[in-house]
Chain A
């Protein structure tokens, strides 16, 4: 069955770095666009970034552009989010989400989320 497992979260000081991972299984990882979505404590969902199925195209929310980098390793069936120059406002649960391969670009499967806390 399709499974996405998020990991790598933790407590980090402002200005430091962290790398999140999303391990995929149960489907052809190299055929799907994958997204990162985050949710600050008690808040709504915020789209963060997307990477195309082949890794050639990446798009970011303005709030993270230049600080967060999405990447993927098809040999490991894993998605990454490199987070640099972290700020307090980056504190959130981070979810990876698979995009359905149809014209409606829906997120049909999500990871369980990993919590990032940016605090001194």
Chain B
């Protein structure tokens, strides 16, 4: 199974800050990497697919980059509604493993 390692596990930031979350795969997954946002008590929501493609309806302040084993999710200017937990997931092979998540909290 492919292991997905996210860092950091949590971070504190202020509205307007630039935030970067990293995700590393245990083997090359090309660009089969997706990012999801989960607010408390809600289902995950797709933000980025294929490492860098923005899902329809997602604000352009979200962006993704990377290929192979190292990937990054960037929020260019953090907004109040962005305080949530973010998960990366590989869709290169089954089982479709997720990272443990990064919780973005208000500073």
Contacts and interface: CB of A to CB of B under 8 A. Distances in A.
Given A95-B43, A104-B91, A106-B34, A44 B100 contact: yes
Interface in A29-72: 35, 37, 44-47, 50, 59, 61-62
Nearest to A111: B43
A35 B42 CA distance: 17
Interface stretch (B10-18, B44-52, B61-69, B76-84): B44-52
Interface string B68-92: 0000000000000000000101010
A45 B99 CA distance: 8
A107 interface: yes
B50 A47 contact: no
A45 B53 CA distance: 22
A82 to B, nearest CB: 19
Contacts of B45: 110
Contacts of B97: 47
A119 B99 CA distance: 27
B44 A106 contact: no
A100 B49 contact: yes
Contacts of A112: 42-43
B32 A95 contact: no
Given A61-B95, A104-B34, A104-B49, A110 B100 contact: no
B101 A105 contact: no
Interface of B: 31-32, 34, 36, 42-46, 49-50, 53, 55, 87, 89, 91, 94-101
Interface of A: 35, 37, 44-47, 50, 59, 61-62, 95, 100, 104-108, 110-113
The 9 A-B residue pairs with the shortest CB-CB distance, nearest first, are A105-B91, A110-B43, A106-B49, A45-B98, A47-B96, A44-B100, A104-B50, A106-B34, A44-B101
